[in-house]
Chains A and B, each alone.
Chain A
Amino acid sequence: MANFTKATGIKDWLNQRLAIEKVEKVIASEYWIPKNINFLWAMGMILVFTFKMLLISGIFLMMYYQPSVEQAFDSVNYTIMREVDFGWLWRHVHAVASSVTFLIMYIHMFTGIYYGSYKKGREMIWISGMLLFITFSAAAFSGYMLPWGQMSYWAGMVITNIFSLGGLHMDGLVEWIRGDYVPAQAFLTRFYMLHVLLLPLAIIGLMGLHFAALRIPHVNNQDGEEIDFDAEAKKYLDGDKKGSKVMRFANDFLSKDMMVLGIFLIFFFYLVFFNYGFALDPVNMDKADGLITPKHIYPEWYFLWSYEILRPFSTNVGLIAFGFAQVIYLFLPWLDRSSNAVAASRRGKFKIWFWVLLIDMIVLTAMGKLPPEGIFSTIGLVAALVFIALWIILPFITMNEKKV
């Protein structure tokens, strides 16, 4: 049996049983972060915050929301918005936080791509991050069903129809997912379950994996410098804090993180209080009706780019292109053949590739919002083809990249 002695205080008592000092060192004071980073390294902590906001506002929404096709719409638009004191606050926080989560997730992702933070032992960080993106997408979609407005219903119809897999006509699978011929009660209740239980559980698990994946390779730095963390940590602990290339996660790095978070919070609550409209589609303020399609169905802004890859093609080709767009980011660590884990600005052709990809994503997003007519469908088609071409040429342009 382990040797327990009479505790000298509460801390010592806990220490003997839970090794709290050691745990604190591992996750905070002796978890080493490079010094040469910038504000883009704070996005992860902002995402932790937005997830926390989603969780807290979601808990309050759940107390009045009714997952039934008759009552769902009124429980959101009347009970929560008008009757419950501060009900509007939870709804606005929830809607804005989900939208902003995607904004920050895209910044986080493209920071990773720009600095090559997905290679040399950091592959699992990238993969767990992309899995988080996929689960967050599923959570956003399932949550979008819950107010049971027109956009909820028709987005549910269109997205579940994707599972018939075009020419394969797997209508049985679609009916199984819905539990009905069309989105109805069974559909609403199971998506409610996914949204409030299964997907949040998966997200929390994946967040654990994402942090754990960071532990051994450590975070990248903006110069792509390979740091000997053990040696630098020793230097720091021996008193040469200035000469060491690393700092403690807490409180050194965290203080900078909190500074960025503070600025973000001002932006976030500005949106919540004064500019929440972008996250609440006016079409969804009409109750779901299976006999009237809204004039123009479009997803929330964060799905527009992949929607636009689906749209300009015939069904089967569109589905293949869409499937390609959904999974291709996962394979980035292997499609990028260069071993340079440095900023894109120092990587020649990759630099051009990065900016073209980013601009293409923005063009796809803009076209996805516009009606599929005339010049817009042509631009959309070209942008979709560019997206696919970019990923196909990536291995070839990085294969012979000079070592920096």
Chain B
Amino acid sequence: MHNNSRRGFMGKAFGAVAGVGVLGSLVAMKKSWDPLPSVRAAGFTTLDMSIYKEGELITEQWRGKPVFVLKKTAEMIEKQTESQEKRDIIINGSHFMVAIGLCTHLGCIPAYKVDEEEFLCACHGGKFDWSGEVTLLPPPRALDIPPFKIEGNNMILGEIGPEFKAMKDSGITL
């Protein structure tokens, strides 16, 4: 009996030591898989917004992801609905659709069909209109708008400015 309780104590003592070790190594393993500081530091892109042509979709790159930039035509601005308008980013009087060019379903790049003025995702058939809103499932939400900050004619992707914050708070983007 005396022996048993001593063995029990030794077992528990070992368990405590091993438990600390296991927890510590799990933390180290988790942290080792985090994106590296160099990867995080490269996560900012500055776009000069004065060079885009109306009605022409340009694909930029930010954090390795494609970013769609579409300067809206007067006709588009004219006909857009209230919810489409809320997604507008206005820089020096020009209206832009800026969105991460990855389908919100599983991340394929939707292709822009100029004639239909819409995006079609070839992976699972999802469709978005020219403002980035979903018109055909399965995508669960409109194209995501990357965090941005406006400085004069420039748009800095990766930084959070007041315009982006307002969009995020009102639930227009994630």
A positions within 8 Å CB-CB of B: 154, 157-158, 161-162, 166-167, 169, 175-182, 184, 186, 190, 290-297, 311, 313-316, 318, 371-373, 377
Q: Evaluate contact between B35 and A186: CB separation under 8 angstroms.
A: yes
Q: A315-B140, A377-B125 are in contact. Are A291 and B66 (CB under 8 A)?
A: yes
The residue among B59, B63, B107, B174 with the most chain A CB atoms within 10 A of its own CB is: B107
Which residue of chain A is the closest to B105 with respect to CB atoms?
A315
Residues in B whose Cβ lies below 8 Å from that of A175: 35
Q: How far apart sit A373 and B123, CA to CA, in the bound complex (Å)?
A: 10
B123 touches A293 (CB 8 A): yes
Minimum CB–CB distance for A167 against chain B, Å: 7
Contact B122 A293 (CB under 8 A): yes
Specify which chain A residues have a CB less than 8 angstroms from the CB of B124 in the assembled complex. 311, 372
Q: Is the CB of A314 within 8 A of B138?
A: yes
- B39 CB → nearest A CB, Å: 5
Q: Which residues of B contact A154 (CB under 8 A)?
A: 108
**Chain B residues, Cβ within 8 Å of A291:** 59, 61, 66, 109
Distance A186 CA – B34 CA, assembled complex (angstroms)? 9
A-B residue pairs in contact (CB < 8 Å), sample of 30: A154-B108, A157-B108, A162-B106, A166-B140, A169-B174, A176-B30, A176-B35, A179-B33, A180-B35, A180-B64, A181-B35, A181-B63, A182-B64, A186-B36, A186-B39, A290-B66, A291-B59, A291-B66, A292-B109, A293-B108, A297-B108, A311-B124, A315-B104, A315-B105, A315-B139, A315-B140, A318-B138, A372-B123, A372-B124, A372-B125
* A297 CA to B59 CA, complexed, in Å: 20
Residue from A162, A296, A314 in contact with B140 in the complex, judged by beta carbons closer than 8 Å: A314
Residues of B within 8 A of A161 (CB): 106-107
Q: Write out the residue numbers on chain A whose beta carbons fall within 8 Å of the beta carbon of B30.
A: 176
Interface residue B65 (Cβ < 8 Å from any Cβ of A) = yes
- For B63-74 the 0/1 string (1 means CB < 8 A from A) is 111100000000
Q: Interface readout for B111-148 with A: 1 if CB under 8 Å, 0 if not? A: 10000000000111100000000000111100000000
Quote the shortest CB–CB distance from A355 to chain B (angstroms): 30
Contact of A315 among B63, B65, B102, B138 (CB under 8 A): B138
Contact of B63 among A169, A182, A294 (CB under 8 A): A182
Chain A residue contacts of B66, Cβ below 8 A: 290-291
Query: What is the bound-complex CA distance between A373 and B120, given in angstroms?
Result: 12
* Known A186-B35, A293-B122; further 6 A-B contacts with Cβ < 8 A: A154-B108, A166-B140, A290-B64, A290-B65, A297-B123, A315-B106
Decide if B105 touches A295 in the complex (CB within 8 Å): no
- Determine the chain B residues whose CB is within 8 A of the CB of A290 once the complex forms: 61, 64-66
Contact yes or no, A157 B107, CB < 8 A: yes
Q: How far is the CA of A166 from the CA of B138 in the complex (A)?
A: 11
Q: Which residues of B contact A (CB under 8 A)?
A: 30, 33-36, 39, 43, 59, 61, 63-66, 102, 104-109, 111, 122-125, 137-140, 174
Contacts of B36 in A (CB 8 A): 179, 186
B151 to chain A, nearest CB (A): 23
Judge whether B123 and A158 touch: CB under 8 Å.
yes
How far does the Cβ of B148 sit from chain A's closest Cβ, in whole Å? 16
Report which of A177, A181, A184, A314 forms a contact with B137, defined as CB distance below 8 A. Answer: A314
Which of B106, B111, B138 contacts A313, CB < 8 Å?
B138
Residues of chain B within 8 A (CB-CB) of A166 are: 140
A158 & B33 in contact (Cβ 8 Å cutoff): no
B170 shortest CB reach to chain A, Å: 17
Q: Nearest chain A CB to B93's CB is how many angstroms away?
A: 29
Report the minimum CB–CB distance from B37 to chain A (whole Å): 12
Given the known inter-chain contacts A291-B66, A313-B138, please indicate yes or no for A180 contacting B39, CB distance below 8 A.
yes
* CA of A34 to CA of B141, assembled, Å: 58
Those 8 A-B pairs whose CB atoms lie nearest each other, nearest first: A182-B64, A181-B63, A293-B109, A372-B125, A161-B107, A315-B140, A158-B106, A293-B108
Contacting A181 at CB < 8 Å: which of B33, B64, B138? B64
Complex CA–CA separation, A297 to B105 (angstroms): 13
With beta carbons under 8 angstroms apart, the residue of A182, A184, A297 that contacts B122 is A297
Residues of chain A within 8 A (CB-CB) of B140 are 166-167, 314-316
A184–B107 alpha-carbon span in the complex (Å) = 15
Closest residue on chain B to residue A290 by CB atoms = B64
Q: How far apart are the CA atoms of A292 and B109 in the complex, in Å?
A: 7
Contact A184:B106 (CB < 8 A) given known A179-B35, A190-B33, A315-B139 = no
Q: Which residues of B contact A179 (CB under 8 A)?
A: 33-36, 39
Residue from the list A182, A297, A311, A377 in contact with B65, Cβ < 8 A: A182
Residues of B within 8 A of A176 (CB): 30, 33-35
Cross-chain contact A158 with B64 (CB below 8 angstroms): no
- Nearest-neighbor residue (CB-CB) of A315 within chain B: B140
Which residues of the other chain, A, contact B59 by a CB distance below 8 angstroms? 291
Chain A residues with CB under 8 Å of B105's CB are 315
Docked CA distance A314–B124 (Å): 10
Measured between alpha carbons, how far is A184 from B34 in the docked complex, in Å? 13
> What is the minimal beta-carbon distance from A163 to any residue of chain B, in angstroms?
11
A296 touches B39 (CB 8 A): no
Residues on A with C-beta less than 8 A from B33 are: 176-177, 179, 190
Q: Which residues of A contact B39 (CB under 8 A)?
A: 179-181, 184, 186
A315 to B104, CA, bound (A): 9
